[in-house]
Structure 1
Amino acid sequence: MDYHLTLNWPDFIERYWQKRPVVLKRGIANFIDPITPDELAGLAMESEVDSRLVSHLDGKWQVSHGPFESYDHLGESNWSLLVQAVNNWHEPTAALMRPFRALPDWRIDDLMISFSVPGGGVGPHLDQYDVFIIQGTGRRRWRVGEKVPMKQHCPHPDLLQVDPFEAIIDEEMEPGDILYIPPGFPHEGYSLENSLNYSVGFRAPSCREMISGFADYVLQRELGSLRYTDPDVPNRDHPADILPSELDRLRGMMLSMINQPEHFNQWFGEFITQSRHELDIAPPEPPYQPDEIYDALKQGDKLVRLGGLRVLRIDGEVYVNGEKIDSPHRPALEALASHIVLNESLFGDALEDPPFLAMLAALVNSGYWFFED
């Protein structure tokens, strides 16, 4: 299924992106759900899949985490099933992510899908990332408030809820409608009838995550062994004082590591291509030989990227799921990063090079790409 957004991207970015929430009526015309509630419930029974059940009964919020064995105990109102990274596990839903590639791939995170019965929702809450919420089957009412500081109260520790707010958007959404919400705008949605919602979330790494990730990179490669020196150690009035010039030198030592583009770029490529959720990796058995990959592509077969696999490019270097791919065949590497479905023509003469073909076979045998049925 191909999904198309009726959206003027330059206008949207200028007026709304990270600025204001907006409802895009019929953002996807003639919307068809790529998944059924039963299929979603089945995914939430798998141990590898991140899922939650949220209910609101007698004024109390309850949250339970999957995998779930049964749903027989649930009533007909006031609960929601939420499943993260469904695009990693259910190929048809991955198509919902593709219209959003007008924004950078590295910023797109995952597709969370919720099924809610009447009254179901997670209460008023804040997100620290951008999200597009696509209405599927059913109707749901959404309220969005004015931007507030990132402060939550916790009626339940698993729900980043906020106090009630005055709405600047109060809209009943129908299939194909899209609600865009930037970070920091409180919002709440609750179902008016059995409904499916698709949330395309965006990745916004924090400074804490990046410092921690870069420190791991430095340690793994045994970098940063340069030690502090002070051949012209300055005099001071008190031996206990650490002078501003010394702090500047210490800070400079740390910044000198980050300011080396070859290390920073490689670290960020590895860091940002790691999925935050498990992937549905199924290596082929038996593994493909390089000549079998060659023959299949030459016969017109197509390679499809695994749902949720992050493939990104920095200065012509391509990174896949936390690893840099080494090859001199830049156009072929660009094809790996740019296209979800690959055919022979996109690889050009790289297929005639045995080292490239061996590298491609290794990617396929890792379960990152698979041949289209």
Structure 2
Amino acid sequence: MSTKKTPSRKVTAPKIEIDASRRPPLGMPPAVFLRDYWQKRPLLIRNAFPGFVSPIEPEDLAGLACEEAALSRLIAHDREHDTWQVRHGPFDEAEFPGMPDHDWTLLVQDVDKWDADVAEVLEAFDFLPRWRIDDVMVSFAAPGGSVGAHVDQYDVFLLQAHGHRRWQVDASPNPPLEFRHDVELKLLSEFTPTHEWMLGPGDMLYLPPGVPHHGIAEDACLTFSVGMRAPSAAELLGDFVDTLASGADESLRYRDPDLTPPRDAAEIDAVSMGRVVEALNALRMNDPDRLGDWFGRFITLYRSAGTVMADDAPFSADGVEQAFAGGATLMRHPFSRMAWRRATRGASLYVSGQTYALPVRDAQIIANGAVLDGADYTRLSNAGRACLAELLGAGHYQPIDDPDAHG
């Protein structure tokens, strides 16, 4: 009796380089990208933003780096001695014209909070939860400028905005991740790239957490880095425990009503440790709403770049209604972070660490409303309108009389 062999199906690994001209910015449906690449493997996306023109010039970035409230760094590399110098802003405008013509990089965090045109880039990343996106960091590098071979512990999209940058990536399964001990930066002591690409304007490189990479400016260039919010387990646990402890009932204590004479009075035995676990378990957040509210407050405050200041003259609900009736539009403060979650009853809206109980539709409208107009306002319930007045008074929105003047 003869047996026929069934041909084995070849499993083809996803490509590491694609052209997205026909389907920017990913070159594929978002669901395919999330399935095959997200937190799994790097991807070079040619023409992710076809014909991209940077909305910011190097001079603008230098000016922002001189602002007291901006988070900026200047990194210089001495190639002859392989030494690195890191300086933190704010910087003096007078020092930029005298900078060398090579081997230095200026990096500014949260540029999307300062420049509305840069913030528009984030609209292309609406295939990700908005609360996961952290900021757009913009770097200017003189020819040869770099921050060294390193790894990030979060997902990042590196969009080439101006000029050209050569990227090297180690996509091997278990790359060495030891750091150098002779520099202030967390640079890799060993780096062997498996891939190397030259990126021009509109090209983008996606890197999952933990992938070693090294970018070197081929000419004077600008790179936009869209990074994710990815708190470490230690950060989550620290804030979670603080929240538990702050609201803990003092009557919840270590108890041993079943105590028996110990074999050794100096020993902490297994039974005692079991009681310790019981005492800790008594503090657990078994209520999904309490747990969700903790995380909503935490993630809308995590790595906050700036503080939203309250208005000197808080708005009333009537004041908001009058503003909309006069044709005003409300624009959200760039440092205000919002998210929402379905709760046992209705929804919870989270705004920069604060919680507001609202109907689901109200929470959706406000959390998604970077700009709100009269039509949005009419869709809100009375509770939503009162909440909006409170947010406006707290500085989370600003009334704009001429919406066209703000794009």
Tell me the TM-score normalised to structure 2 length.
0.83
Match among 135, 138, 147 for residue 110 of structure 1: 135
Partner of 2:10: none
TM-superposed CA distance for 1:323, in Å, is 0.4
1:84 matched to 2:104: no
CA RMSD of aligned residues (A): 2.3
Partner of 1:361: 389
TM-superposed CA distance for 1:177, in Å, is 0.7
Partner of 1:344: 374
Partner of 2:44: 23
Going from structure 1 to structure 2, the CA distance change for 1:318 and 1:77 (only over 3 Å counts) comes to same
Q: What is the DSSP-based 3-state SS (H/G/I as helix, E as strand, rest coil) of the residue aligned with 1:314?
A: strand
Going from structure 1 to structure 2, the CA distance change for 1:285 and 1:226 (only over 3 Å counts) comes to closer
Summarize the alignment of residues 236-315 of structure 1 with structure 2, pairs less than 5 Å apart. Answer: 236-260=262-286, 261-279=288-306, 281=308, 287-315=314-342
Q: Deviations over 1:3-32 (max 9, x none)?
A: x62442111111111111110111112212
| Contact 1:56-1:78 within 8 A present in 2 as well | yes
1:148 matched to 2:175: yes
CA distance in structure 2 between the partners assigned to 1:182 and 1:94 by the alignment: 22
Q: Deviations over 1:124-180 (max 9, x none)?
A: 0111111000000100000011353653223322x1110342222200001111101
Partner of 2:237: 211
Pairs aligned (count) = 367
CA distance in structure 1 between the partners assigned to 2:246 and 2:395 by the alignment: 26
1:193 matched to 2:223: no
Summarize the alignment of residues 311-326 of structure 1 with structure 2, pairs less than 5 Å apart. Answer: 311-315=338-342, 316-326=347-357
CA distance in structure 2 between the partners assigned to 1:32 and 1:276 by the alignment: 29
Q: What is the DSSP-based 3-state SS (H/G/I as helix, E as strand, rest coil) of the residue aligned with 2:91?
A: coil
Is the deviation greater in 238-247 or in 313-322?
238-247
TM-superposed CA distance for 1:271, in Å, is 0.9
Going from structure 1 to structure 2, the CA distance change for 1:234 and 1:298 (only over 3 Å counts) comes to farther
Q: Deviations over 1:262-320 (max 9, x none)?
A: 33222111111104133374655655443232123244433222224321122221100
Summarize the alignment of residues 321-332 of structure 1 with structure 2, pairs less than 5 Å apart. Answer: 321-327=352-358, 329-332=359-362
Q: What is the DSSP-based 3-state SS (H/G/I as helix, E as strand, rest coil) of the residue aligned with 1:190?
A: strand
Is the deviation greater in 133-142 or in 199-208?
199-208
Q: What is the DSSP-based 3-state SS (H/G/I as helix, E as strand, rest coil) of the residue aligned with 2:187?
A: coil
Partner of 1:165: 191
Is the deviation greater in 180-189 or in 306-315?
306-315
| Contact 1:139-1:192 within 8 A present in 2 as well | yes
> What amino acid maps onto 1:61 in structure 2?
W
1:5 matched to 2:25: yes
Match among 206, 221, 227 for residue 180 of structure 1: 206
CA distance in structure 2 between the partners assigned to 1:295 and 1:322 by the alignment: 29
Unaligned runs of 5+ in 2: 1-23
Going from structure 1 to structure 2, the CA distance change for 1:133 and 1:344 (only over 3 Å counts) comes to same
TM-superposed CA distance for 1:361, in Å, is 2.0
| Bigger Rg, structure 1 or 2 | 2
> What amino acid maps onto 1:338 in structure 2?
N
CA distance in structure 2 between the partners assigned to 1:255 and 1:275 by the alignment: 26
| Contact 1:131-1:202 within 8 A present in 2 as well | yes
Partner of 2:15: none
Going from structure 1 to structure 2, the CA distance change for 1:172 and 1:334 (only over 3 Å counts) comes to same
Going from structure 1 to structure 2, the CA distance change for 1:234 and 1:334 (only over 3 Å counts) comes to farther
CA distance in structure 1 between the partners assigned to 2:269 and 2:131 by the alignment: 41
| Identity across the alignment (%) | 34
Q: What is the DSSP-based 3-state SS (H/G/I as helix, E as strand, rest coil) of the residue aligned with 1:41?
A: helix
Q: What is the DSSP-based 3-state SS (H/G/I as helix, E as strand, rest coil) of the residue aligned with 1:167?
A: coil
CA distance in structure 2 between the partners assigned to 1:12 and 1:286 by the alignment: 47
Tell me the TM-score normalised to structure 1 length.
0.90
CA distance in structure 2 between the partners assigned to 1:102 and 1:171 by the alignment: 26
Is the deviation greater in 83-92 or in 193-202?
83-92
CA distance in structure 1 between the partners assigned to 2:379 and 2:165 by the alignment: 51
**Could you say which structure has the greater relative contact order, defined with CA pairs below 8 angstroms and 6 or more residues apart?**
1
TM-superposed CA distance for 1:239, in Å, is 2.2
Unaligned runs of 5+ in 1: none
Q: What is the DSSP-based 3-state SS (H/G/I as helix, E as strand, rest coil) of the residue aligned with 2:25?
A: coil
